[in-house]
Amino acid sequence: MWWRSASAELSKLVRRPANWLMLAVGTALGLTFTYLLPLAGAAGASSGAPNSDRGIAATLPGQLVGNSIGGLPVFLGAIAVVVGVLAVGGEYGWGTWKTVLTQGPSRLVVYAGKLFALAVAMLALVLAIFATGALTSAVIALAEGAPMDWPGVGSLLTGIGAGWLIATTWAAFGALLAIAMRGVALPMGLGLVWLLVVQNLLIGVAAPLVSWVNDLQLGLPGSNAGSLVASLGASAQSPGVAELTGPVQAALVVGAYLVAFTGLGGWLLHRRDVI
């Protein structure tokens, strides 16, 4: 029963054009921030214009892991939240919860299937970003005559695992918001405001000024996601990336949020009316 529910949810995700659009947007954003902008900065330096420290060296194959996961604390995390909201909140908007649940599976079985499908989708997103990043960095290295110094297999697997953990946590956050608010528009808006505005204000503005906010940020999912990707080579110039905690603590905190988001979402779905 669980596997049939998971297969059905995977089929929904694959057939929904919005998810393919989110994949394309996420990949495009990753390439823009980690490859196109540093290349533009290097071109500006050659013409005498001011530029950042991220130049050609930041786009070479050796930086693949950090470049691929550097966007997950903020803008790629926002893509994951949108996918999570759409996967669960759409059932409320279309009124299909009643149809699904009258077929036989329990609410928690359907919910588990959705979480499994979201986890697979997030893995696909992370792998797509790694694949396009590898191709882009290889082309740049060939064009510049630079050596192809790729990260080791262990580093690649660690980076993919960390990226998958962060992306799945944000997708579960989106699913939780959709269940709590029984819809799409409001949870999507609140999720994006949190990722793109609130957590950046807390980290960049409030934390340096207020001591208790500085302590609070060490327990937030965005801060720990940023610390985790920073420990794996992501640039501190990327939004939300700063090594505030150690990698082990960061991974444990993000994992704890994943458990909390999924558990609370399942409890709300089980306890409340779906209409």
At residue 261 the predicted structure's pLDDT band, cuts being 50, 70 and 90, is very high
Q: Is the pLDDT of residue 90 over 90?
A: no
Q: How far apart are CA 4 and CA 36, in angstroms?
A: 42
Q: Give the lowest-confidence range in 61-65, 200-204, 239-243.
A: 200-204
Whole-number average pLDDT of the chain:
87
At residue 52 the predicted structure's pLDDT band, cuts being 50, 70 and 90, is very low
Whole-model pTM: value is 0.91
| Cα four-point dihedral sign 93, 94, 99, 104 | negative
Is the Cβ–Cβ distance between 235 and 173 less than 8 Å? no
Give residue-wise pLDDT tens across range 2-15. 778 888 889 989 99
Q: How far apart are CA 111 and CA 117, in angstroms?
A: 10
Closest to 60 measured CA to CA, from 142, 131, 157, 161: 142
Amino acid 123 reads L
The residue with greater pLDDT, 197 or 179, is 179
